[in-house]
Chain A
Amino acid sequence: MGKSNLFINGTKGDKAIVLGNEAIARGALEAGIGYASMYPGTPASEIIIALDKNKKNVENLYTEFSLNEHISLHGAIGASWSGIRSLCAMKNVGLNVASEPAQFLSYTGVKAGLVLAIGSDPGAPSSSNEQDDRWYSLHTYMPILEPSNIQEAKDFTKDAFEISEEFSFGIVLMAPSRLCHNAGALYFGNLRDRADIKGDFKKDPENYLNLFNMAVRNHTKYLERSELLKKYLIESNFNQIINKSSSRIGFISSGVIYAHLMETLDILGVYDHKILKLGFTFPLPNELIDRFFEGLDKVVIVEEAEGFLEFQIKKIAYELGFKGEIHGKDFFKQTGELTIDDVIIGISKFLEKPLPAYFDFAVKKDKELQNNLPQRSGTFCIGCSHRATFYSILKAVGFSNTEEKERDVVIAGDIGCYTLGLLPPYNAMDFLTCMNAGLGIGQAISIFDKKKKVIALAGDSTFYHSGIPVLLNAVQNNVNILYIILDNSWTAMTGHQKTPSTQKDIDGKPSPNALNLKDLVKSLGVSYVKSLDPNSVKRFASQIKSALKEPGVKVLIAKRECVLQEIRRNKILKKNEAGFSESGESLYEIQKSRCVKCNECFVELACPAIILKKDAEDEADFYYIDPASCVKCGVCYEICPNSAIRKVEFDLKPAFKLSRKNADKGFNAVQVNVNV
C-alpha cells in the first residue's frame, strides 16, 4: 500500500489499494487489537509486517516476531486473557507447531477476541507441503472464516473478534497465498478509540485450569458453545444463498475458490443456478444446508485440496436424508493449486458445456509449449554467502555438482533461503521436510549408517525456532554429526525480520540484546565449535574436511550477514553522508585470454552475475562478469583455478558510466592497482 498513513489513519469513506495481508491487518486494527505476533512465514508475513512497521504511530499496540508459532499463539492467548484483542498470524505449516496451544484454546476459551490468521499455500510455491489446515478444526473446534476478496479479508477479520468474544473461541481466518498476495480495492471502516486498550488479567480458574475432571468439563462446555455458534450461523450474513431460482443444480464454495467460481460462471455465461457461499466453513449448521438443498437434484462442491467441505456436507446430507447427487472431488483435483482454469474446466465438464474457444486454444497451446521449454528454478541472490557455503561443502566432500556419482556423505536439509541448495546446480540436500528435521533425522541416520558421514544444516532463525533442543539431544546422546549453522543474522526469506543473531539493525544501530551464537552453542555442551566466514571458501572447505574427521557433535557457524541487508545498510549510511556520490572503486573481471572455460565459476559456483556473452567479431562464447549485477563478494576470484579473474581497483573516483558498450571494451578509467 503506497499510503501507509491511510493504513493507520484511514476512516470510513476512504478507499485504497491494499494487499490481502494488509487488509487482514487493517481489519484487526479496526477491531482495536493491542497484540499482534507471528513467526514469519510466506504467504502470511505481511500481516504482521504491516502492523509492526506502523506500531510507533499506533497507540497501545504491541507487536512481536516470536521465535516460533507455539510461542506466538501462547502470547496471543496471554494477551486475550489480559483483556487485549489479539491477532496471531502464521503460515499453513505453522499450525503444526502451534497445534498444542490451538488444541487447548477451545477448552479454556478466550477473554478478549483472538484471531488466528493462517496463510495457506496450495501448490506449495513457498512451502514444504500444501496441507489444508481446515482439517484441524474437526478436533480443535476452532471456527473457520474464509474471505473471498480484499474487502472481505478486512471485514471478516474485524467481525471475527466479536464472534470470538461472544462464543469464546479463537477464530481461524484462512487466507491462501492467492488472497494474501492479491491486491485490490479496500473501503475502510472506522477505527476504534485506542486509549482504553489496557491489560487486566482477571483470574478465571473455572476456565483456565485444564486438568483431570476440569478438562472434561471444559470439553463439554466447548461442544455446547460450538452448537450455539451453529445456531447463530443459520441466519448470519457470513453464509449466503444466491439465486433462489428454479434450477435443480446448486454450487457450494468458499474463499478464493468462490471468486474463481463466480468468474467462471460469468465467462461461461451461466447465471441460473443456485449458489451457497460459505463465509464460515466450520462449523456448518444442518439447517442452512437443508435450506440450500431444497429443490436441488445435484450439488457440486467447488473447493481446493482433499475436500474438507465435501466431507462435512456429505455427512450432513446423510443426516438430512438428502436424495440428490453430491459432487466435488470427482470434478476438481485434490493436489496442487486449484486455479481458475481448473474451475472453468471442471464446471464445463459438469454442465456438459463446451469450453470457450479462446480458452481451449490457449490451454492446448500452453501444453505444447511447456514440454519444450528449459525449466527455470530460483537461486541464491548475487553475492549470497549461502552459495559460498554450498560450494565449500561440495568441495569438502570431494563432490562436484555435475558428476553423477553417489555421494558418501548425507546432507540433511532444512527450511530457509538456504533450502535452495537442494536445487541444481548444487543438488546438495538428501532430504528436506520441516523445521529442524535436518539435525533430528540426521542424528538417527548417523547412528545406523556408520559408512556415511552426516552433515546437517540449519539457518540461524531455524535454529532459534526449535533447533536448540535438537542440538542438545545430539550432545546428550553423543551422536557423530557435523552441524553447520548458516548464520546470516536475519530471517531473510520472509522479508528480513530480526533474529537473536542480528547484531546491527538496518540503520546501523547495534541491537541491544544481540546473542553470541558461538557461546550459546558452547554452553549447550558442544566442545568443537568454530565460527567462520563462508566467503573464504578454501578455508571453509578445509575446516569442513577436518571437522568431518572428528568424533561427536561438531558445529561450524557459517557467519556472514545476508548480503541484501549489508547492501541496504551501506546505501542508507552513504545517503546520510553528505556529498557522497556513487563511484566504482573496484570490480572483478574475467580475462578472456586466460579463461579456459573450466566452469568452476560459471557452473559449480553458478553466480548469476557471471554470464555468457558472444564476441561481436568471431561469435565465440565467453564468460563475463556483468558489472551492473556483481556485488563484488570476491568468491569467484578466490576459486578460479586459472587465475583468470582479476580484481581491478580504482584509486580515483571517476564518475564513469557502466554502459554496455564501455563494459565490453573494458574500462577507460585509470587502473591503478590490478590484483591477479
Chain B
Amino acid sequence: MKKFNIAIVGLGGQGIITMGTVMKDAALSSELQDVSGSERRGGAQREGYVETFVKYIFYENESEMSSPRKNMHSPMIESGGADALISLEPLETLRGARYLNKNSIVIFNQTPYIPISVRMGQTSYPEISFIVSELRKITENIFFYDFDAISIENFNSLTQKNIIALGALFAKTDIPIDITAIENILMEGKGAENNLKAFNLGLKL
C-alpha cells in the first residue's frame, strides 16, 4: 500500500476546503485507489484556523483492499505524517508544522493576515525569516510565494490564490495524481476558465 498525505492549512474564507475537495475529486481514476481526509471548519465566519487533510491511498492488490487491517483509514493525518503541507497564511504554516517530517515539502503563502492579538498589541507577528528558520529545523524543502499578489495581479481578486497554490503543489512535489485529473475537475466546476489559468500559473512557479 502506498500513501500520499497532504495537509492544507490557513484561515476561514481562503478557500482551503475547496482545495481539498478538488484534490479528492481528482482521486478516483483507478479502482485500487482510495481517499480519506476530513476538514476542520467552524461556521461561516472568517479568519479562524482551518485545516483539511487529503490522504491518497493506493492498494497493491484486491486482497489488500478488502482486508480490514488495511482498508480503514483515519480521516486525520498523524503528527509528522504529511508528505506535503500547503499553507495559505505564513503564521499558520507553523501551526501546521506538526504534520511535517524531514522529507516533507512545505509550500506557503507569504502574505500575512494578522490575528486580533497582534492587532491589540498583545503579541507580535513573527518575521518570515523566523518562520522559515523554524521550518528548516524540520525540513529543507520549503517554498514560499506571494499567492495573494499573484492572484490580484492576474485576476484582480484574491479568490484564485488557493488554486494557484494547488498548481504549486503539483510543481514542487511528486504527488501521485495526474495533472489532467485536476484539470478535468476544475473544468467541470464553477469559474472553470479562471481556475484553469490559476492552476497553470501555479504549475509554472
Residues in A lying within 8 Å of B, measured CB to CB: 2-3, 15-17, 20, 42, 125-126, 148-150, 177-179, 181-185, 240, 242-243, 256, 258-260, 262-267, 271, 277, 339-341, 344, 356, 358-359, 361-363, 365-366, 369-370, 373-382, 402, 417, 420, 423-425, 492-496, 564, 602-603, 606, 608, 611-612, 628-629, 657-660
Contacts and interface: CB of A to CB of B under 8 A. Distances in A.
Contact of B125 (A178, A240, A366, A374): A374
A259 to B, nearest CB: 5
A356 B124 CA distance: 35
B45 A380 contact: yes
Interface string B16-36: 000011001101100001111
A240 B68 contact: yes
A185 B25 CA distance: 9
A266 B72 CA distance: 10
B41 interface: yes
A374 B91 contact: yes
Nearest to A661: B153
Contacts of A602: 119
B76 A340 contact: yes
Q: Which of B49, B76, B188 has the most CB of A within 10 A?
A: B76
B135 to A, nearest CB: 10
Contacts of B46: 378-382, 608
Contacts of A608: 46-47, 113
Interface string B120-138: 1111111000000010011
Contact of B78 (A344, A365, A612): A344
A302 to B, nearest CB: 12
A602 B188 CA distance: 41
Interface stretch (B97-105, B171-179, B195-203): B97-105
A184 B72 contact: no
Interface of B: 11-13, 20-21, 24-25, 27-28, 33-49, 68-70, 72-81, 91-92, 94-95, 97-102, 113-126, 134, 137-138, 149, 152-153, 156-158, 185, 188-189
A606 B119 contact: yes
A424 B79 contact: no
A181 B45 contact: no
The list of the 3 closest CB pairs from A to B, nearest first, reads: A378-B48, A362-B80, A366-B98
A390 to B, nearest CB: 13
Given A377-B116, A425-B120, A493-B43, 8 more contacts: A125-B41, A259-B73, A263-B74, A344-B78, A381-B45, A602-B119, A659-B152, A659-B153
Contact of B102 (A240, A358, A376): A358
B181 to A, nearest CB: 12
Contacts of A178: 38, 75-76
B75 A185 contact: no
27 contacts: A17-B21, A17-B24, A126-B42, A149-B73, A178-B75, A182-B38, A184-B34, A260-B76, A262-B68, A263-B74, A265-B69, A358-B81, A359-B78, A362-B80, A362-B99, A363-B79, A376-B91, A376-B115, A380-B45, A417-B45, A423-B116, A493-B45, A494-B43, A602-B119, A658-B157, A659-B153, A660-B153
B50 to A, nearest CB: 9
Given A259-B74, A363-B79, A628 B98 contact: no
Contacts of B78: 263, 267, 340-341, 344, 359
Give the dominant DSSP class at A's interface: mixed
Nearest to A426: B116
A602 B95 CA distance: 25
Nearest to A610: B119
Give the dominant DSSP class at B's interface: loop
B75 to A, nearest CB: 4
Contacts of B33: 185
A420 B45 contact: yes
A459 to B, nearest CB: 12
Given A379-B116, A628-B157, A660-B153, A149 B36 contact: yes
A492 B44 CA distance: 7
Contacts of A402: 120
Given A149-B36, A185-B28, A376 B152 contact: no
A271 B92 CA distance: 36
A20 B38 CA distance: 9
B89 to A, nearest CB: 9
A182 B76 CA distance: 9
Contact of B44 (A243, A417, A424, A657): A417
B28 A17 contact: yes
Q: Which of A126, A182, A493 has the most CB of B within 10 A?
A: A182
A374 B126 CA distance: 9
Contacts of A20: 38
A271 B157 CA distance: 51
A125 B42 contact: yes
B184 to A, nearest CB: 10
B48 A17 contact: no
Contacts of B68: 240, 242, 262, 277
A492 B94 CA distance: 31
Contacts of B39: 181, 183
Contact of B38 (A183, A369, A376): A183
A495 B72 contact: no
Contacts of B69: 242-243, 262, 265-266, 271
B63 to A, nearest CB: 14
Q: Which of A362, A363, A377 has the most CB of B within 10 A?
A: A362
Contact of A424 (B95, B100, B117): B117
Contact of B134 (A263, A369, A420, A492): A369
B21 A183 contact: yes
Contacts of A378: 12, 42-43, 45-48
A381 B13 contact: yes
B180 to A, nearest CB: 16
B185 A184 contact: no
Contact of A181 (B41, B92, B101, B120): B41
Nearest to B27: A17
B174 to A, nearest CB: 19
A660 B149 contact: yes
Given A184-B24, A262-B69, A378-B48, A369 B94 contact: yes
B95 A370 contact: yes
